Amino acid sequence: MIKSKKVEQLDNSSVKLTVSVKKDAIQKQYDELVAEYCTTVRMDGFRKGKVPPNVLLRKYGDAILSETMEKVIRTSLEQVLEKIDQKPIATSIPEVDTKKGLELGKDYTYSATYDVYPAIELPEYKGQSYEAIQVTVGAEDLDRELKALQEQNSIVVDKKDGTVLSGDIVNIDYAELDEKDEPIADAKREGFVFEVGGGYNLYKIDNELVGMKTGEEKIISKDYAEDFEFKELAGRSIRLKVKLNTVKEKQLPEIDDELAQDISDKYENLDDLKADIRKRLEEYATGKTREHSISQILEKIAEQAEIPLPKSMMDGELEDQWRRFVSRLGGDEKPVLRQLEQENRSKEQILDEWRAGAEKKLKLQLVVNEMVNREAIEVDEKEIEQRIQREADAQGITLEEAKATMERNNYLGYLEYDLKNEKLYDILLDSATRKKGKKVKFLDLVQGNY
């Protein structure tokens, strides 16, 4: 069927594939279609399956020729792509140039343009340098964790004097008032519960509630800055009628051996709990420090690498980010687009803002994949099973249960990918020059302030 084929390299990992199909193959495809239509088409004056070819072609000739061209292109393109190395990547659908029509009795030549996996030129990736941040788990970190556990194990009881203080749990009714001090129907709520001082309320009235007593009603006047976090209140002055229904306070347990035993049977005393907390925090710090070191190395390699990113790959990454963005905002694209329009922005502007980050992310992924391939890194079934066992132990389930869950969620492929990457990171770190980096507090490490 194929008379000739030619692949031309274009910019940004795109190629132009030119295919020439033999005239005999075209005629064969055309004749088969004519024979098929003659047996299936219905025309007035003829029984089904008895329509003469010349009568059929007078009416449907152009359509049959057009369908022949479609089948010839589809079949020949599949045949060529099976045999050549320059195959389209998953994000790229070949764009076929069909400006030139097909003619019977002549060879047919067409071209298809698509993106291929980029040719990646890496620098010398072994022997890079990095700065290892220094993190120490201190007494303040243990205290913070213990206080969090104390908070988690607190009980909430009715407050005897019914007076609101910061940290109390309140139940209120509220309604925003109009110019005539009438409640606004869609700006009121009953039985709203929150912790005073936490700021988890639309109007941010924590301070105004302090000192109120159970059953008390109050009108709060409040002005909001132009840059207030909730746009519906930004730049406004409001009057809010509030009724305090109930006040509850937290009773915190003592941080002692009894608390440790209440948290878990594995702790005999408070020292056991502290030791376990320290171990967990130190393991976390070690992991984050490793991530930071690896990130430095990978960014250096990616900056020096030459990677002609395919347009379809970039477009696909940006669309994925857009879908995740819309999903976080409820999953419906229309209200998101309306909100952007109100802000004089567009989806295209958002994608342009994300482009640099998307390019960096893709380059890092491609660089890592290329190094894994060059190092011929593999993982075996035993290594995969050991990782699954770790996950199972962490979740308190059996190996079989963990494996079944991963298979059901198609996670095993990602697990293998991660294991290969971890082996690569070991190679990069072992070969790199380690320099002592700055000291970082554990809390800053957790918050990313380093």
Domains of the chain (ranges, CATH numbers): 2-115 (3.30.70.1050), 119-153+257-303+375-450 (no CATH), 155-251 (3.10.50.40)
Instruction: Please give the torsion angle defined by the CA atoms of residues 187, 189, 192 and 198, in that order, rounded to the nearest 10 degrees.
Output: 10
Residue whose structure tokens are 């109009």: 178
User: Strand runs (DSSP E) across 12-107, as ranges?
Assistant: 14-21, 95-97
With residue 86 as reference, give the H or E element that holds it.
Answer: none
pLDDT of residue 140: 96
Q: What is the 3-state secondary structure (H, E, C) of 117-144?
A: CCCCECCCCCCCEEEEEEEECCHHHHHH
- State the chain's mean pLDDT as an integer: 94
- The alpha helices in 212-269, defined as continuous H runs, are 257-263
pLDDT of residue 60: 85
Going edge to edge, which strands form the sheet with 14-21?
2-9, 14-21, 108-115, 95-97
What's the pLDDT band for 340 if we cut at 50, 70, 90?
Answer: very high
Cα–Cα distance, 147 to 21 (Å, whole number): 76
Residue 258 has, within 13 A of its CA and on its CB side, a CA count of 5
Close Cβ partners of 296 (under 8 Å, ≥ 6 residues apart): 130, 131
What's the pLDDT band for 154 if we cut at 50, 70, 90?
Answer: very high
User: Residues 356-403: pLDDT tens digits?
Assistant: 999 999 999 999 999 999 999 999 999 999 999 999 998 989 999 999
| pLDDT of residue 134 exceeding 70 | yes
User: Residues 93-121: pLDDT tens digits?
Assistant: 999 998 888 999 999 999 999 999 999 99
pLDDT of residue 277: 97
- The alpha helices in 264-310, defined as continuous H runs, are 270-304
User: Residues 34-80: pLDDT tens digits?
Assistant: 988 888 877 777 777 677 888 888 888 989 999 999 999 999 999 99
Joined tokens for residue 63: 């359509």
Is the four-CA dihedral 342, 343, 346, 347 of positive or negative sign?
A: negative
